[in-house]
Structure 1
Amino acid sequence: MLFAGLLAGLAALVLMAMVSVAVGSRSVPLSTVLDALLAPDGSTDHTVVRSLRVPRTLIGLGVGAALGLAGALMQSLTRNPLADPGLLGISQGAMFGVTIAIGLLGLGDPAVYVWFAFAGAAAAATLVYALGSGRRTGGGPVRLTLAGVALGMVFNAAASAVLRMDNATFDRMRFWLTGSLAGVDGGAAVRFAPFLAAGLVLGLLLAKPLNALALGDEAGRALGVRVGRTRGLTAVAITLLCGAATAAAGPMWFIGLAVPHAVRAFTGPDQRWVLPYTVVLAPLVLLGSDVLGRVIAAPGEVQVGIMCAVVGAPVFILLARRRRLAAL
C-alpha cells in the first residue's frame, strides 16, 4: 500500500513538472513542450522551454526535495516536531553566507558562493543547538525553535546591513532573498546538482540508523548504531541540503516543516518511508506553489518563497496550538 502510494506520488510529481514547464506568463501547450525537449527547432516557444522553464523546474525539484528531506532529518535527529530549516535559522545562516560572498567579496559564481552557504548553514546549526540546549535536558522543541527564530532574525538583519551598503547588489539579490526559482539558468542548475544529489543520497541512507536512535541512544547502541557517527553524518546531510538549496533559490519557509508532518500522518514514524515520501512530495508542493504564484499574478508572478509561507503558515499555527506535539 505504501509502495503504491509512493509510485502515485512520483506520477503526480512528473505531471506537476510538466505543468511547471508549460505554465507561465507565456503558456506553452504540452505538445510543444515535448517537441522542445525532443526536437528543438529554435523557435521562441522552444527557446523559452529549454532556456528558462526546464532549468527552473529542475531547480524546483532539487530544492523542494532538499528542503523537505532536511526538515525530516532535523525533526528525527532532534526529536523536535517544529524543526525546519527556516524556523531553526539554518536557511538564514546559509543566506548570510551567500550575502557575504556576493555583497562584500563580489563572488558571483554559484560554484564558489555555495561554499559560503555551507559554512553559514553549519555555523547556524551549531549556534542554534548551543543556544537552545539546556545543560541537563538538552534542547526541547520550543526552546530550540525560539533560539532558531532569534538567530534567524540576527542573520537577516546582518544580511540586510551588508546589502544596504551597495544598492546595486541589493537590486540584484532582492528577488533571491524572498525565495525565487526565476532567473536560474542551466549552468547554475548543473553546478548545484552534485551537492543536492550528495545530500539526498546521504540523507536517505540514514533512515535505518535514525529509526534506531528514535528509541533512545542506549537502545540505538544496543542495536549496533554508532550514535556519534550517525549524528555527524546527519548534520553533514542537513548542511549540504540546506546550503545548496538556499544558494540556488534563496531562503524558503515551511516546506521542511509541513511536508514531513503530512507524510507521517499516513506512513507513521518509520523513517524508511518518511524520508522517500518527503523527497517526492516536497518538490510537488514547491512546484505547485510556484505554478500557483505564476497563475494568480499573470503576466507577473508571486515569488515561490511567499507562496510557500502562505501555504505553510497555517500548518505551523496548527502545530503551535496543539497541546501535545506528535511523536516522531
Structure 2
Amino acid sequence: MTVKKAIRKNLFVIITLALSTGVLLYFLFTTDGIITLGEIVTKLRLSWLIMAIVSAVLCWGCEGYALNLLCSHLYPRWTYNRSFCVGMIGFLYSALTPFSTGGQPMQIYSMRKMGMDTGKAGSIIAVKTLTYQVIMVGYSLVLVAWKLHFFQTTVSNFSFVTIIGLISNSMFIFLVALFMISETTTDKLVNAVIQFLHRIKLCRHPAERYEKIHSQLEIFHDASKLMGNSTKLYIPVLAVTVIQITLNSLIPYFIYRSFNMNSAPITTMVAAQVFVAMVSAFVPLPGASGGAEGSFYIFFGMFFGPAILPAILLWRIITYYANILFGAVFAYIGKRYNVENAIPEQ
C-alpha cells in the first residue's frame, strides 16, 4: 500500500488525532499551561509518574490475562502471548475508531487469523466486553452512591452527565447480553434493522444480507453455549477486570502525586476517573477525542487547579497515545508470529 492510499484510507482518524493533539497543545501554549508544565517538570516526582506508567502496563496485562482465561477454556493450547496481542489490538483499534467500535471486530478477525473459529472468537470477545461493561457500571453505581454529595456540590450538571453515562452503558450491556442469550429475539431484531435499512435505501439486498448475518449468528450462539456457566471460569475473569479498572482509575491519582500534590483523597480521584471513563465511552470520535479531555477537565479541574492542562496531556499520553503506539507494535508482532504459527482448529 502506497503512502497516499494509507493516508486516504485513514484520513478521518488522522484528522481527529491531529485536532485532539492540536487543541491540547493550543491551550498549553496560549494559556499558562506551558509555563505551569515547565514548573512542574523541574519539580516532578518521577517515582509517582513511573507508578502511573506501570499501572497502564498492568492494565494491558490484565486485559491479556482475562482474555486468556476465556480463550484457554475453549482452546487449551492457546497461549498468553496470543491473548496479550489480541488485547493490545483491541486497545489500538478502539483508540482509532468512532465509539471505540473497531476494537472488538479486529480482535475477532485477529483471533481467526491465529486459528480460532470465528463463532468462538466472537463469543469470547462478547463475554469479555460484557464483563467489562457490567463491572464498570457496577463500579460507577457504588461510587455514585458513595461520593454523590461531593460531586453534586462540586461538578456542575453532575447528575445529568452521570445519568447519561449510566444509561448508555446499561443499554450496551443489555444489547450484548441479548445477543448472547436469546437467539430468537436477536434474529428478529437483526431482521427488523435490515428491513428498516432497506426501506430507507441503505440496504439493497435485504434477504441476502439477512441470510449472511443469520448464519454468523448461528455460529456465534452455538459457540456461546460452549462457554457454559462455569463459576470457576467467570469469577477470575470478573476479579481481573475489577483489578484492571482499579489500576486504570489510579493513573490520574499517580499523576496528581507526581505534581507534588497530596490533599485530594485517593478514593475521590478514583471515583472521578471512573465517571470520566463511563461518560466518555460513547463519544463518537476515535479515542473519545474531545470528550475524554473535556470530562477529565470537568472532574479533575478542582484537584489540579492551574496544572489541569499538563495533567490532561500526561494522562492522554499514558492512557491513549501509548495504546496506539504499543498497540501497533503488538499488532505487528501478532501478525508476524501468531498468525504465521496459527494453532490447528480444535
So what's the TM-score if we normalise by structure 1?
Answer: 0.30
TM-score of the superposed pair, with normalisation by structure 2: 0.29
Larger Rg, first or second structure (1 or 2): 2
